[in-house]
């Protein structure tokens, strides 16, 4: 699939706020897709993190009191975590919010599709930055075999270099899969 097709399919109206009854803590992530191949950027969290230790995820984090909305959160966190500065104008859309099973976050994913990106630099919240070929990653979709993960909704996994993407990150990838592979 070419970048222009991905951009066309994933472009949507941006609503950077979510109605929240207080049941969840609000967070957002940025799905960065770039290059001719195309490539998707994901990170591995360090094992010492309080939440999501060792998990494969998108750059992002919880809403901060200084953020004007969840898009600001995603852009700030992406810059902090991997050193990638993205402007609001480069964000082409958003996906449906997803919840985390254990940590109680409601996550709003935003999407940026770029021709290229500069070299990235992880901060202390990131163990590894992955540049995953999007098509081959999406082709690894499988149902999550752990029945305890299927409590809130149907769960999926994806695999890259023997690393398993599951949970909220996999549900975000499933939305991308469904959009691009349908």
Do 119 and 137 contact (CB within 8 A), yes or no? no
Nearest to 71 by CA among 11, 104, 27, 19: 27
Per-residue model confidence as pLDDT tens digits over 97-112: 998 877 889 999 999 9
Task: Tell me the CATH class for 3-12+24-133.
Answer: alpha beta
Q: What is the pLDDT of residues 37-92, one digit of tens each?
A: 999 999 998 877 666 567 899 999 999 999 999 999 999 999 999 999 999 999 99
Partner residues linked to 60 by β-bridges: 29
């Amino acid at each position: 699939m070419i970048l222009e097709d991905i951009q066309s399919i994933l472009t949507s109206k941006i609503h950077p706020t979510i109605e929240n009854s207080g049941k969840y803590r609000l967070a957002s992530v940025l799905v960065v897709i770039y290059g001719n191949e195309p490539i998707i950027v994901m990170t591995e969290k360090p094992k010492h993190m309080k939440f999501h230790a060792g998990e494969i995820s998108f750059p992002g984090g919880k809403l901060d009191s200084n953020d004007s909305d969840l898009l600001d959160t995603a852009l700030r966190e992406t810059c902090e975590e991997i050193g990638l500065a993205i402007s609001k104008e480069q964000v082409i859309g958003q996906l449906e919010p997803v919840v985390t099973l254990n940590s109680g976050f409601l996550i709003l994913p935003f999407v940026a599709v770029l021709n290229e990106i500069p070299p990235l630099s992880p901060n202390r919240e990131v163990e590894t930055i992955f540049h995953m070929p999007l098509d081959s990653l999406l082709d690894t979709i499988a149902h999550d075999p752990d029945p305890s993960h299927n409590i809130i909704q149907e769960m999926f996994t994806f695999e890259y270099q023997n690393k398993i993407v599951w949970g909220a990150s996999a549900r975000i990838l499933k939305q991308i899969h469904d959009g691009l592979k349908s």
